[in-house]
Structure 1
């Protein structure tokens, strides 16, 4: 059984991790002004799904392979880095060419569907070995040993996912309110240039990451 001190400590640690700057926040900041609030929430749904994936793999012990096998970790790390760089390069390309704003684009012509936004959110989290490192290094310290440990572990995963959903949903709502004032093409090109640069930087940082 989990006691309140474990729950509160885990909540504090994961809240700080969720709120710290990272690819998730950058993706939401790029998605909402260009594709709308619904696409932002689809990003968040992808984040949450990926947390359950990482948590399940950690509980089953599969993630240990990524740490004990240098080759397996390297493959996953490079896949994640390549994906982040790919998103960044696409954003930089759109900024260079110039893209239509949401107001100028009919719903049927929008490039980022809800399914695509969900997939972007899922892959951004799923291909990030840093999340696996968290579940291997910090997560087990909060899971009680003995009967009910699996239930307790999944409870903590649900709590982590909930914190993630609340934080980024609030970000989506805030950005949606501000979007009306920043939908002009010049701002969106600048936004894509900044987010593209940040994603490429995150990709390079991930490629050189050492656990």
Structure 2
């Protein structure tokens, strides 16, 4: 691969990362409780992206392209997981404190280990990540080259860019924590990001059911 090809691929990865999606909302929501757990979730997402790269490299991810049924069920599983995350967080937000009552410092609902797991599982169950690798990565693998090695290099670039962006989202949320910790603002953002996760999950399940 040439330097121009690598730069072009990095540009595509950057566009993918800055487009708001489930991982962005998940990291933001976790970061409202713990910046460390939010960064861990970003790292989990990056590791899961590497898993997708390996699957493409060894040819296993081609099953998604060959079997619409497998893709549909993977999409349903990812949607249900996001729906669960969103609804469970909305329930916790409603039970946190009564309206108008001063709220103590937000408790840590996620450890770093839990944040890592949530980020990794969200990306693993997101078929759009798999489709990105299936559709884009092969275009940058030179003819006759080592498919697995090339896919790993490209996956490393995508993972690094994705992690950098999501970590920046987490750090930005932490820097604004003094404002975010205001009871009304914290509850609104918690419910808003949770609602977005639930809506994304519901949309994925609905679109799968109609396909």
**Equivalent residue of 1:103, what SS?**
coil
Partner of 2:80: 82
**Equivalent residue of 1:146, what SS?**
coil
Q: More deviation in 177-186 or 8-17?
A: 177-186
Aligned length: 205
TM-score (norm 2): 0.90
Partner of 1:37: 35
- 1:138 and 1:43 map into 2 onto residues whose CA distance is 25
Matches within 5 A, 1:30-179: 30-34=29-33, 36-98=34-96, 103=105, 105=107, 110-179=108-177
Q: CA deviation at 1:165?
A: 1.3
- 1:33 and 1:101 map into 2 onto residues whose CA distance is 14
- 1:101 and 1:83 map into 2 onto residues whose CA distance is 29
Partner of 2:187: 189
CA offsets, 1:127-175, max 9 Å, x none?
0011111111111101112133432221111111110111111112111
- 2:203 and 2:92 map into 1 onto residues whose CA distance is 23
- 1:101 and 1:10 map into 2 onto residues whose CA distance is 46
TM-score (norm 1): 0.90
- 2:117 and 2:104 map into 1 onto residues whose CA distance is 20
- 1:9 and 1:63 map into 2 onto residues whose CA distance is 23
CA offsets, 1:89-111, max 9 Å, x none?
01211222226967254xxxx33
Greater than 3 Å deviation, 4+ residue runs: 99-102
- 1:101 and 1:132 map into 2 onto residues whose CA distance is 41
